[in-house]
């Protein structure tokens, strides 16, 4: 597997880097006020991040005025484990470099996605990285051996909250694990052991030897 940059043309089908946002106060708050666990910790909404000046610009400019939330995904990780998607774009803004493992929604065939379709992209500290609605993603990965990552996650408000009460109408409904979150797990992942839909086939990618 080759690790590309989000600045490379190979990233264009998956997302883009947004320009013009002053993220310095957000990165300072992320770096100084959120933990760096040994594993991976995700918080969907964090007040210390949402009270930074860039919040309004992200909500009004990047999301066209839709209500948003700013949380974080911090820790240490080198494995794929799962892929998820939302009905909207997601923004990732790191106070460290980080790597995203991504795939395309149209590579889901009969409810399965072969992990050979997954590509890796490195983002630099401070870049505002948009991943499109049609891009499958999950927890960031470390960009250097032994290094951790801290990444602010921007999404429409309520995303990753409680799964709505619904009667499944089709196969995709069975993949929903939270509000606005559809997830395909690898059989080796802890999420699969907790009952998530097993939709990833092939190798559970680990980039530890590539960083």
**Do the domain assignments include residue 209?**
no
CATH of the domain at 156: 2.60.120
| Domain interval for residue 21 | 3-78+88-160
The predicted-structure confidence for 28-45, as pLDDT tens digits, reads as follows 999 999 999 999 999 999
The predicted-structure confidence for 184-209, as pLDDT tens digits, reads as follows 999 999 999 999 999 999 999 999 99
**Do the domain assignments include residue 14?**
yes
Q: Which tokens is 119 given?
A: 């590509």
Q: What's the first-to-final CA gap in the chain, in angstroms?
A: 11
**Do the domain assignments include residue 177?**
no
In this prediction, residues 7-11 reach a mean pLDDT of: 98
**Do the domain assignments include residue 188?**
no
The predicted-structure confidence for 117-174, as pLDDT tens digits, reads as follows 999 999 999 999 999 999 999 999 999 999 999 999 999 999 999 999 999 999 999 9
Instruction: Taking the CA atoms of 70, 130, 18 and 3 in sequence, report the sign of the dihedral they define.
Output: positive
Instruction: Please answer whether residues 126 and 37 qualify as being in contact, where contact means their C-beta atoms are separated by less than 8 angstroms.
Output: no
**Do the domain assignments include residue 195?**
no
The predicted-structure confidence for 72-92, as pLDDT tens digits, reads as follows 999 999 999 999 999 999 999
**Do the domain assignments include residue 48?**
yes
**Do the domain assignments include residue 180?**
no
113 pLDDT band, cuts 50/70/90, is very high
DSSP string, the chain: --EEETTSGGGTTTEEEE-S---HHHHHHHHHHS---SSEEEES--HHHHTSTHHHHIIIIISTT--EEEEEEEE---B--EEEE-SS-EEEEESS-EEEEEEEGGG-BTTBEEGGG-EEEEE-TT-EEEE-TTEEB-S-B-SSTT--EEEEEEEETTTTSSPP-----STGGGGEEETTEEEEEETTSHHHHTT--EEEES---B-GGG-
State the average pLDDT for the chain: 97
**Do the domain assignments include residue 186?**
no
Other CB atoms within a 10 A radius of the CB of residue 9 amount to: 7
Number of domains in the chain: 1
């Amino acid at each position: 597997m080759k690790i590309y940059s989000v600045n490379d043309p190979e990233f264009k089908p998956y997302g883009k880097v947004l320009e013009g946002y002053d993220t310095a106060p957000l990165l300072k708050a992320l770096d100084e006020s959120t933990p760096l666990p040994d594993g991976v910790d995700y918080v969907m909404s964090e007040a210390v991040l949402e009270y930074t000046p860039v919040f309004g610009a992200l909500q009004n400019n990047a999301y066209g005025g839709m209500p948003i939330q700013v949380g974080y995904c911090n820790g240490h990780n080198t494995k794929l484990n799962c892929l998820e998607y939302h009905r909207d774009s997601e923004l990732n803004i790191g106070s460290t470099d980080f790597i995203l493992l991504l795939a395309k929604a149209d590579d889901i065939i009969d409810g399965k996605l072969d992990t050979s379709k997954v590509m890796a992209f490195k983002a630099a500290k401070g870049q505002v990285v948009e991943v499109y609605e049609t891009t499958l993603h999950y927890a960031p990965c470390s960009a250097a051996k032994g290094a951790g990552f801290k990444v602010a996650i921007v999404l429409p408000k309520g995303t990753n909250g409680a799964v709505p009460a619904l009667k499944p109408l089709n196969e995709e409904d069975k993949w929903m694990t939270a509000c606005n979150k559809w997830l395909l797990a690898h059989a080796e992942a802890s999420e699969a052991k907790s009952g998530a839909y097993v939709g990833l086939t092939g190798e559970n990618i680990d980039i530890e030897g590539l960083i």
